[in-house]
Structure 1
Amino acid sequence: MIRTIAVVVCLFGFASTLVADQAPGGDGSSVTEGSLIYKTVDGRDLRIDFTRPTDWTAEDQRSAVVFIHGGGWTGGKPGQFSQHSLELADRGVVCFRVEYRLLDKKSKLPPITCTEDVSDAFRYIRSHASELGIDPNRIAAGGGSAGGHLASFLGMMDDVAVDGVSRKPNALLLFNPVYDNRPGQWGDARVGDRVKEFSPSENITKDDPPAIVFLGTEDKLIPVSTAKRFRDKMTDAGLRSELYLYEGEGHGFFNAGKGDNSAYLSTTDRAMSFLQSLGWFDN
């Protein structure tokens, strides 16, 4: 890896003092990676890692994907989607990976801090679109498992604009997402009777973004029937919703390095095709 020290004022035109790297892209080309800080909570800096094409300029209006890692709201790291980011950056997309506060495994609290942080991160990215070289109206949220819950939370919950900046993505890329938290579904122990407040599946309305969902048929956390219900609820609301089932695959099947990588490659290609079908790469 060729390491280039630079402040983000040179990279994106606003303040931070982190490192940018040139790294091999998904097809062997080079992309630029680095980090920036989007908020500080109780003395802790929370960062957004980014991957962008080498021909990026601040004057661009590129499509973007904000990835949110999984881990049951209690674990995981932003690097889960590093390879996805490299692959999409090779294809011209600016990718971001969000760090958020994790819940204590011993607690029974709902994911309040998680939803707060990803909401703030998404608004931060959109509000700085002109410096990040992205189109504020072409920002997808993507996530796996609990990260899929958080991505779909942004998409389905009532939008709360802060200083006029929306947290609602323009599309959703969901990898075995735990987006249904009703009794008997994953996450119900934490969500409890606050289903309407936290469960994306119970908040679908006609103003929500289009979604593509990937699920293994042997996933022990998310029944196929749950994914079909979500798809049908979106369709009934007049929304575009695509569901791809992977026969015999379990939870986390989509991750880079899993098995022969065929599921990772397939889901990544389908996610990119989905964004292309929305007309995100006309410019």
Structure 2
Amino acid sequence: MRYCFVLLWWIGAHTATSQSLDTLQLAKRVLPGAQVEIYKSVGPTDLRASMVFPSGYRQGNAYPAMVFFFGGGWIRGSVNQFAEACRYFADRGMVTIAFDYRIEGRQHTTPVEAVQDARSAMRWVRVNASRLGIRPDRIVAAGGSAGGHLALAAALLDQVNEAGEDTTVSTVPAALVLFNPVTKTTAGGYGHERLGDKAEALSPVAHVRPGAPPAILFHGEDDTTVPIDNAEEFCERMLAAGNSCELHRFPGQKHGFFNSNEEVRRQIFKMSDQFLTRLGYLQPQ
């Protein structure tokens, strides 16, 4: 009986630990206080959309939307990276959505699957726009670092889609708000060794074309992870193609500077706000 008791105790403790770990992992994949829905299921993985609605939100009205993709090199990261941004822009009258997606550290996947998920996320927003009270022509995509790459992938990487998905539903956002984004994955850019023969297909700068969404980029001049000359090259190609691209440089700042510097983050929110106001997506403050 004593051995039976020990065995039962071990099973119970092990199960409790597993449940705690599952709860902890889920907490990284949803935004506290948000309305959460599953936007995509792949095998055993449910991918979630964490939605924050404007105060005074009314069913039947149509609001602009802003979707966020977290950074972390397609390896790690959490939707909570953009919790403050979601609440800020919801307060400004937008439906904001932080999307989970597959990453190496959780699902043991590659950047290709992350791109597929980002494009699936944009399709999900469009398909559900009426139900969620979103204007399908005013969906802004935003992200930091690898998340910025995913926002760009939604706009530019037309050939990378989940098998069986309805590709007649556009993934292209109305505008892009990008925080030190990965704009180049070929030589001289980020992740080219890891991507190998897929580097060109996943490199946004190689797929810039006329009619791309207007973009605003925020980049630290001392960024050694994603060199600022990548952002400069991207904006140069955007402008050459007749598109709108603003690059705001931050002297002395390294990669991910907006995550830890509240004053700079607020400055970036204000500049993003002004950008979206000029586009007519927000009312002037």
TM over 0.5: yes
1:211 equivalent among 203, 209, 215: 215
Aligned-partner SS, 1:48: strand
C-alpha change, 1:183 and 1:223, in structure 2 (3 Å) is same
Over the matched positions of the two proteins, sequence identity in percent amounts to 37
Residue-by-residue CA offset, 1:132-170 (whole Å, 9 max, x unaligned): 111000001100010011111111223778263111111
- Which residue of the partner structure matches residue 143 of structure 1? 143
Residue-by-residue CA offset, 1:185-234 (whole Å, 9 max, x unaligned): 21101222323310101000002111000001111112222211111100
CA–CA separation in structure 2 for the residues paired with 1:162 and 1:274 = 31
Point out the structure with max Rg over C-alpha. Answer: 2
Once the 2 structures are TM-superposed, how far is the Cα of residue 54 of structure 1 from its aligned partner? 2.2
1:26-175 to 2 correspondences below 5 Å: 33-104=34-105, 110-158=110-158, 162=166, 164-175=168-179
Q: CA RMSD in A?
A: 2.3
Once the 2 structures are TM-superposed, how far is the Cα of residue 110 of structure 1 from its aligned partner? 4.5
- Conservation of the 8 A alpha-carbon contact between 2:211 and 2:242: no
CA–CA separation in structure 1 for the residues paired with 2:190 and 2:35 = 34
C-alpha change, 1:102 and 1:20, in structure 2 (3 Å) is closer
Residue-by-residue CA offset, 1:60-89 (whole Å, 9 max, x unaligned): 211111100001101001111000011111
Once the 2 structures are TM-superposed, how far is the Cα of residue 44 of structure 1 from its aligned partner? 2.1
CA–CA separation in structure 2 for the residues paired with 1:151 and 1:170 = 11
- Conservation of the 8 A alpha-carbon contact between 2:216 and 2:272: yes
CA–CA separation in structure 2 for the residues paired with 1:39 and 1:238 = 35
- Conservation of the 8 A alpha-carbon contact between 1:195 and 1:202: no
Higher mean C-alpha deviation, range 61-70 or range 189-198: 189-198
CA–CA separation in structure 2 for the residues paired with 1:52 and 1:45 = 22
Report the TM-score, using the length of structure 2 for normalisation. Answer: 0.82
Aligned-partner SS, 1:38: strand
Q: More strand by proportion, 1 or 2?
A: 1
- Conservation of the 8 A alpha-carbon contact between 1:58 and 1:130: no
CA–CA separation in structure 2 for the residues paired with 1:281 and 1:77 = 27
Q: More helix by proportion, 1 or 2?
A: 2
1:217-256 to 2 correspondences below 5 Å: 217-255=221-259
CA–CA separation in structure 1 for the residues paired with 2:88 and 2:31 = 18
C-alpha change, 1:44 and 1:272, in structure 2 (3 Å) is same
- Conservation of the 8 A alpha-carbon contact between 1:183 and 1:192: no
The reply to whether residue 187 of structure 1 matches residue 188 of structure 2 is: no
Q: Please tell me the residue identity of whatever aligns with 1:150.
A: L
CA–CA separation in structure 2 for the residues paired with 1:91 and 1:165 = 27
CA–CA separation in structure 2 for the residues paired with 1:272 and 1:209 = 16
Q: Structure 2: any 5+ residue segments left out of the alignment?
A: 1-29
Runs of 4+ in 1 over 6 A off after TM superposition: none
CA–CA separation in structure 1 for the residues paired with 2:210 and 2:31 = 40
Q: Structure 1: any 5+ residue segments left out of the alignment?
A: 1-18, 24-32
Report the TM-score, using the length of structure 1 for normalisation. Answer: 0.83
Q: Please tell me the residue identity of whatever aligns with 2:148.
A: G
